Chain A
């Protein structure tokens, strides 16, 4: 049993950090709306991807390219279609796989790039054996990144029923909503993960300072408020504080990060092939520390050594300073 550690790279320097810290594979995306972390200043040019892949391959590390948003309607000139360009660039650069979500992009890849290995992005939200089986049969998808809605028990049952590999998130930012099926961001701001590759985009973020504290607003909606001494959070819509039924609460999700380090052994037993770390928008310091820690976790699990104190080691890097095992434990629901 060997678990593959799949690590984030928002920039070439983060890619090098992940490779040096012990990643088995690194995932990244192009600097445009074709991937779900389309934030300003982030991601790779075609040239940077070529160079990054050369570097990773020299160290025996695979590179997976995320092209996981949904193709825009009404692109008249196929030669100028960013999603088609991205697929061609990824293949040309020698990507070991592409991570896709959209039926149109999958169909194009399967038809025009038969040599590319296809992974199904979490953004495709395929959570049942029937849906996963469909993607495998229709497009030859080899691996599915599991939606963050399944418990470990459900993953074990699922793996019995499907013929493709599964990849499960083990650390990082946590969407409480089913990814790829959330339009909260565009409702407030006009820009969404599916259409633009961004959630709660920074150009709509505003921090208003007042003596009693800071109010974080997204497109004018007060998403959260922080006392002067309290840690501030990035105003991601679903992690905000809201009022419903007369109660003020983090209705959708508390500002916490996923840390499933303690569940790695059970995920392995459930038949998971790869463990994924979230955080392409985070710095290389984060990438290096999280990858090193999970490399140690995986080694401890594989050799039956004492568990690594991952929660303690990573506590300073997580949002809100708090960690959860999310939907992997049924109580989360």
Chain B
């Protein structure tokens, strides 16, 4: 049986070029990830800054033996944003589509389907597989039971599960960072760069609930799906995706590698994750078919 792969998903937040370099250097040097996504997914306005950094990081990660996937925008709107999606989709690297804009030009070439594309059933997965989908990262809402059913019906596709990080829950054409700071999206002053894990959103009663990241809304809780090797194999999961946060992602990667290899138990993995500096409590309801905010086992 093949070893379950470990993917470092695309960074969703607005980090500076230096921070990006430092972060991915660490990932290249000594992380357990075998596949790393690069590229801006959330906001096209951030691209002029980060686009300059990606080429050197691609080389560095590939030299370190990592498979690099180029991620594309989830909500391309302007002509420039659409052009960037189409250009990346014509690239020789493996590419992740996060919206169907890139699908026509990518059809026939292998691609990854990101969790922001709605693949809720076997039929949708088969449809995309026939067009070249090699890996499909399931939408975060799906239960393990649904994921297993899709994986069983589409054995030629690598099924990936979003296993760590604040859950990407919603997108908007409105920028909540700008709105919160009384700014207009077009002159946002890039205020989202102040919040490396997004800005916390609480209820009126002070209960942590969500997080805003530009046009994206995430969960406040940090999703942690830590299956035993047997559970992952039973659901035919081939990859787990960890979503980058300001915490030590190299250690997070090690924790997941250890649980997937059967070296530690899921309970031990959760305990070790809780020792990290996380932006929210651990949750795992979606995997169990419950509300996404349901706390992970203590």
Contacts and interface: CB of A to CB of B under 8 A. Distances in A.
Contacts of B176: 251-252
B210 A189 contact: no
Given A133-B104, A178-B170, A333-B175, A102 B120 contact: yes
Interface in A184-198: 184, 186-190, 192, 194-195
A134 B169 contact: no
Interface stretch (B23-31, B121-129, B239-247, B255-263): B121-129
Instruction: Assign chain A's interface to a size class.
Output: 35 or more
Given A73-B146, A103-B127, 12 more contacts: A101-B118, A104-B123, A104-B127, A107-B124, A131-B101, A149-B77, A149-B173, A178-B171, A183-B139, A188-B291, A242-B204, A244-B180
A251 B123 contact: no
Given A103-B118, A183-B139, A177 B171 contact: yes
A131 B184 contact: no
Contacts of A251: 176, 179-180, 201, 212
Contacts of B291: 186-190, 219
A241 B204 CA distance: 7
A127 B174 contact: no
Contact of B184 (A101, A181, A333): A333
B103 A73 contact: no
Nearest to A252: B176
B285 interface: yes
B75 A248 contact: no
A73 B200 contact: no
A70 B119 CA distance: 8
Interface residues of B, number: 71
Interface in B156-193: 167, 169-176, 178-181, 184-186
Contacts of A150: 77, 173
Nearest to B75: A178
Interface string B265-298: 0000000000000000000011001111100000
B222 interface: no
Given A243-B204, A244-B212, A130 B101 contact: yes
Contacts of A195: 120, 141
B76 interface: yes
Interface in B94-109: 99-105
A177 B120 contact: no
A102 B201 contact: no
A178 B121 contact: no
A186 B170 contact: no
Contact of A177 (B116, B170, B285): B170
Contact of A176 (B99, B102, B103, B172): B172
Nearest to B149: A74
Interface of B: 74-77, 82, 85-86, 99-105, 116, 118-124, 127-128, 139-142, 145-150, 167, 169-176, 178-181, 184-186, 199-207, 209-210, 212, 217, 219, 285-286, 289-293
A190 B292 CA distance: 6
Interface string A297-330: 0000000000000000000000000000001001
B99 A131 contact: yes
Contacts of A242: 201-204, 209-210
B146 to A, nearest CB: 4
A280 to B, nearest CB: 21
A183 B171 CA distance: 10
A58 interface: no
Given A222-B203, A244-B201, A245-B180, A71 B124 contact: yes
A137 B139 CA distance: 25
Interface string A92-112: 000000000111110110000
Nearest to A243: B202
Given A104-B124, A128-B76, A243-B202, A332 B101 contact: no
A267 B232 CA distance: 50
Given A181-B116, A183-B139, A134 B100 contact: yes
A182 interface: yes
A133 B103 CA distance: 10
Nearest first, the 6 closest Cβ-Cβ pairs linking A and B are A104-B123, A74-B149, A149-B173, A187-B292, A73-B146, A70-B120
A103 B124 contact: yes
Nearest to A138: B127
